[in-house]
């Protein structure tokens, strides 16, 4: 764990002004120069009346907002788009100039996609903040959670230190860390257990703390931890399950992002979460006896739902 420096004013682009991006960008705009990249009518509402943040934060800020993410510049670009939109976001960011880009996304593989396209440092982050975009220009924080950032491949990063200080300065519980690969796989275990189960069962996060949902979520998390170890990332089964249950307790009344997608008839991020676990297990199986049958079934069920709903995946 690094010693977080005193925050200095930063120029920050938030690429993906959905729920999390709007929350993070809106709060950062209290003290920093923030540009949100999103879609209308949200972008127009922010331009005309500012961004209202309700819930655990209570404030209105006036970040810049645009629907054109090309040719931008700043100290850091925070990427908060859905995992399947990462290639498009990376191509747009590559037309600009940044000291670093930082993924605050769900799922795995986003950092590799960014690194292949942008010519700057790539950071990774884990955010457990709860956010719901209720109306254009209005986002609710359902829980401040915590934010950790660091070099995507691990180790120290001066830019991550500055970014963590900026988050902390505006009221988030934030830190810069040197073990992001372990943090990302632990988050993946949590998401694999909570998101798919709550989306399929249409229940709040707290439902995975008991009954059949609990056993299903715990099994998905344990499988993810085993695959992480097969990839030489030290995540124990006990740690994965403990983190899953802590997040479920802390966000018991929250609606997971995947459940929000299903209920809105949108494509989910299952390929970057449970599907990623399945694919990584398949790759590791050549050398190690590792499998992820629960994650495979959860993935198949959600893909079947997407197909039945006529949701494209290209």
Catalytic residue (one of 42, 162, 183, 187): 187
Please check whether residue 190 is in contact with residue 262, taking contact to mean a CB–CB distance below 8 angstroms: no
Quote the tokens at residue 240: 């994965």
CA distance 258 to 61: 28
Phi, psi of 134 (to 5 degrees): -80, -45
CA distance 101 to 208: 33
Active-site residue, 187 included: yes
Please check whether residue 162 is in contact with residue 5, taking contact to mean a CB–CB distance below 8 angstroms: yes
Active site residues: 187
């Amino acid at each position: 764990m690094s010693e977080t420096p005193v925050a200095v004013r930063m120029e920050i682009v938030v690429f993906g002004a959905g729920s999390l991006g709007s929350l993070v960008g809106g709060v950062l705009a209290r003290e920093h120069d923030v540009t949100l990249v999103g879609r209308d009518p949200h972008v127009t509402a922010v331009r005309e009346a500012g961004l209202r943040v309700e819930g655990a934060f209570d404030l209105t800020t006036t970040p810049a907002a645009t629907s054109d993410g090309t040719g931008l510049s700043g100290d850091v670009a925070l990427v908060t788009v859905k995992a399947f939109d990462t290639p498009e976001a990376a191509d747009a960011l590559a037309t600009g100039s940044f000291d670093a880009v930082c993924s605050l996304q769900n799922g795995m593989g986003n950092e590799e996609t960014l690194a292949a396209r942008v010519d700057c440092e790539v950071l990774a982050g884990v955010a457990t903040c709860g956010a719901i975009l209720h109306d254009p220009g209005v986002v609710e924080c359902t829980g401040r959670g915590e934010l950790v950032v660091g070099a995507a491949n691990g180790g120290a990063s001066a830019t991550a230190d500055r970014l963590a200080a900026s988050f902390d300065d505006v009221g988030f519980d934030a830190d810069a860390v040197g073990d992001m690969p372990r943090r990302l796989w632990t988050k993946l275990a949590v998401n694999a257990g909570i998101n798919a189960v709550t989306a399929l069962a249409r229940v709040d996060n707290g439902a995975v703390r008991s009954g059949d949902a609990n056993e299903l979520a715990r099994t998905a998390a344990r499988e993810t931890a085993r695959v992480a170890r097969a990839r030489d990332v030290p995540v124990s089964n006990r740690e994965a399950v403990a983190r899953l249950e802590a997040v479920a307790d802390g966000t018991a009344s929250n609606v997971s992002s995947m459940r929000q997608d299903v209920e809105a008839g949108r494509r989910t991020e299952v390929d970057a979460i449970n599907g990623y676990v399945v694919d990584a297990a398949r790759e590791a199986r050549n050398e190690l006896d590792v499998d992820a049958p629960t994650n495979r079934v959860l993935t198949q069920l959600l893909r079947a739902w997407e197909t039945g709903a006529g949701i494209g995946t290209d």
